[in-house]
Structure 1
Amino acid sequence: MKQTPKVAVVILNWNGSFFLEKFLPSVYNSTYQNIEFIIGDNASTDNSIEFVQTNYPSIRIIENSQNFGFAGGYNEVLKSVEADYYVLLNSDVEVTPNWIEPVIQYMEEHVEVAAAQPKIRAYHDKTLFEHAGAAGGYIDAYGYPFCRGRLFNEMETDKGQYNDNQEIFWATGAALFIKAQAWKEAQGFDADFFAHMEEIDLCWRLKRMGYRIAYVGASTVYHVGGGTLNTSNPKKTYLNFRNNLMMLQKNLPLSRVFWVIFSRLWLDFAALIKFLLERKPKDAWAVSRAHQYFFLNFFKNAKKRKSFSVKENKKGLYKNSIVWDFYMNKIRKFSELDGENFQ
């Protein structure tokens, strides 16, 4: 009889004692049998560590020497974790008792699936999908990520329309299930991302290695979102615009990389103007800073481009512009997109 795979649920924490106190009980009460709980701490200065040590002495704590961000932090912590599967879980996520079993079962049955995610619903309105992942991530021809159940900031109500299992382009870092071997093969996150889009970059690299990424609708978690950086934070704007360009440079084929990035720079400039018109000068400056970083580190990032001997899996790529469809064609739901335009 095959042994139940070992799962390590790893929560990366940085001054998140409030979220740990609120959501760690639901995680700790998960029903999966062969499981280890780990808190990876990014040099917190609050009482996070003391809280876990006092209330959950069986939970393993791995302390980083400094705040390496989401990407670098997980890279450091997972060097010391042995398991068949890693579950990278945000501290601001409430889970349901049976949230692990369906995803692991699906991944065990589909050996080509390297990473997967559950259904992500909003904690503050549990009828809605949540921004960070919803019912699985996709990407358009210009590198804009979107989800089933969420186009830009338009969230759909969950009426069971995405209760299926589906191959997707990227799985959310809010609750990322990944086979440990695949994590090691891909060499984890790109630490230069610090935070935001590092999971999309990782999933893209896995797809270029021939793996598949999946969404499993039988598992549900509830995500607060914006726990570390508020959605209106200019630093979040900077990281999103900067990391998106870095991701495109690293992963697009040479036949597309130059014209896509050229187009994105102009689209980003339009976003900068929009921020100015909305009287958000700090966000506009964040876009400018993102472009400055991209050009100053162009050759450093170019060295990260890798070629793989297998055929890239493009499932989940949307061949049109989601920006055009959303703003010009007034499409607000994933189901309204033309299925013929998906790879």
Structure 2
Amino acid sequence: MDHQPLVSLITVNYNGRAFLHGLLESLQACRYPHLEIILVDNASADDSVAFVRSHYPQVQIVENAQNYRFARGNNIGMARARGSIVGLINNDVVVDPDFLQPIVAAFAADAELGAVQPKVLDLQRPGYLEYAGACGGFLDRLGYPFLRGRLFDRVEPDLGQYDTPLQVFWGSGAALFLRKQALEQVGGLDEAFELHMEEIDLCWRLHLAGWRIAVLPESRIWHYGGGTLAQHHPQKFYWNFRNNLFLLIKNLSANRLWRVLPLRIVLDGLALLNELVRGKWRHAGFIARAYLWLLAHLPLLMARRAANRPWIARGAARTEALLYPGSIVWEYFLRGRRRFADLKYSQAFTRRLAYGRHLSPTQMEGVEQPYGTETV
């Protein structure tokens, strides 16, 4: 890779005029010299496009005729990107002026690195990690996503406790940087996800294809969060429950899927009952709607899994060794463990995923795989 390759930054925008000034001003102050910025506007009703065209003429603007949401919007932007590194960055982000240098250096040093996430800090709550990204993402043995720095709704302050680079299962779509070669191999974001967890699906496919993903806390960005859909909005229940199961059905090996899926259905049922008992009818309704969508789209789910089967056969054992071996639900709700560092297996888990100072990854050969051989 060129020492200073072109980096293409793509931001998808829908009525985000209030956030664009902060993002684009911070990108203008970025000290990395080879940068192109692509704004994909999803038919905003505000003056986002006119504002960017007037104040930031260097930004390439793609105007969509309708709201294609996060996945398709980014795919449209990625098709226009010329850089060998492609960055997906939310419109409600502010970046450190030197955030790109460590990322570019990482890709140059490790030919098998497919994606990188910076440390994501909270723009609204100084001194805290941010809900959507924190210091890199994982899945537990039942497929629940969590972050190094955020378990469920509990977000930790940033005390430098997670400042070591680490291999991760997934990087946050708030700021996710991809090697274009890897992206071309596995394809872009799955547009059937529409909104939420499509970046986890992309990262999963990268792992299956043999690429590595890392978080580099030396690189920092700040995320406002909820710029498009607020964190506690009831509709977020729909996307999270729907897409989490979609993710597992599409990507898990057959042995693990048939062990995990019945448990997840039971736990999701308990979550629905809990919302009803608490009087949160809309939240419960969105969980039910998620399952109705999954049932109505079983042919789509099976088609996606069938298309993915060769990749699962090739990379499931290595990829599923990256799953956290415990249950986040059990540890958080029943054992009261609210910090990533307090999780039962966190120290051993992070030791085996350590990423070297000079970006030389710890080899995964010999990593214990506690669940045995998986089949497709």
TM-score bracket, normalised by the shorter chain, equals over 0.9
Query: Offset at 1:2?
Result: 4.3
Aligned to 2:365: none
Describe the superposition over 1:73-118 as per-residue Cα deviations: whole angstroms up to 9, x where unpaired. 1112221221101110001111110011111111221111101100
Is 1:225 equivalent to 2:225 in the alignment?
A: yes
Question: In the alignment, what sits opposite 2:196?
Answer: 196
Does the 8 Å contact 1:172/1:199 carry over to 2? yes
Matched, 1:332 2:360: no
CA deviations 1:125-174 (Å, max 9, x no partner) are 12111111100101001110001111111111111111111100000000
- Among 315, 321, 335, which residue is 1:311 paired with? 315
Residue type of the alignment partner of 2:230: N
Q: Aligned partners of 2:274, 2:230: CA distance in 1, in Å?
A: 19
Q: Is the 8 A contact 2:89 2:176 kept in 1?
A: yes
Structure 1 residue 57 corresponds to structure 2 residue 57: yes
Cα separation, 1, equivalents of 2:28 and 2:334: 46
Question: Kindly, what percent of the aligned residue pairs are identical?
Answer: 39
Q: Is the 8 A contact 2:119 2:221 kept in 1?
A: yes
Aligned amino acid, residue 54 of structure 1: S
Partner of 2:69: 69
Contact 1:64 1:77 in 2 (8 A): no
User: 1:39 aligns to what?
Assistant: 39
Cα drift, residue 310 of structure 1: 3.5
Distance in 2, Cα, partners of 1:120 & 1:247: 23
Structure 2 length normalisation: TM-score? 0.88
Q: Mapping of 1:1-343 within 5 angstroms?
A: 2-305=2-305, 306=308, 307-308=310-311, 310-312=314-316, 313-314=318-319, 316-337=322-343, 338-339=345-346, 340=348
Q: Partner of 1:40: helix, strand, or coil?
A: strand
2:161 maps to a residue whose letter is: Q
Match in the other structure for 2:363: none
Instruction: Quote the RMSD (CA, aligned, Å).
Output: 1.5
Structure 2: runs of 5+ lacking an equivalent: 351-368, 370-376
> Deviation at 1:341?
5.9
CA distance 1:212–1:60, change in 2 (3 Å): same
CA distance in 1, matches of 2:122, 2:314: 37
Question: What is the alpha-carbon distance in structure 1 between the residues aligned to residue 133 and residue 268 of structure 2?
Answer: 22
Structure 2 distance, partners of 1:127, 1:44, is 32
Write the distance in 2 (CA, Å) between the matches of 1:193 and 1:300: 11
**What SS is found at the alignment partner of 1:318?**
coil
Aligned equivalents of 2:28, 2:201: Cα separation in 1: 29
Is this contact kept in 1: 2:171–2:203, CA < 8 A? yes
* Cα distance in 2 for residues equivalent to 1:114 and 1:33: 22
Q: Distance in 1 between matches of 2:29 and 2:298?
A: 46
Cα distance between partner residues in 2 of 1:268 and 1:323: 11
The SS at the match of 2:162 is: coil
How far apart, CA to CA, are the structure 2 residues paired with 1:9 and 1:129?
22
Give aligned pairs, total.
343
**Runs of 4+ residues deviating >2 angstroms:** 308-316, 339-343
Corresponding letter in the other structure for 1:166 = L
d(CA) in 2 for partners of 1:239 and 1:92?
A: 20
**Structure 1 stretches lacking a partner, 5+ long:** none
Give the drift of 1:295.
1.3
Q: Which amino acid in the other structure matches residue 230 of structure 1?
A: A
Q: In 2, Cα distance between the equivalents of 1:331 and 1:152?
A: 11
Distance 1:143 1:218, change over 3 A: same
Call closer, same or farther: CA 1:262–1:17 in 2, change over 3 Å.
Answer: same
Q: State the match for 2:359 in structure 1.
A: none
SS of the counterpart of 1:44?
Answer: coil
Equivalent residues of 1:64, 1:76 under 8 A apart: no
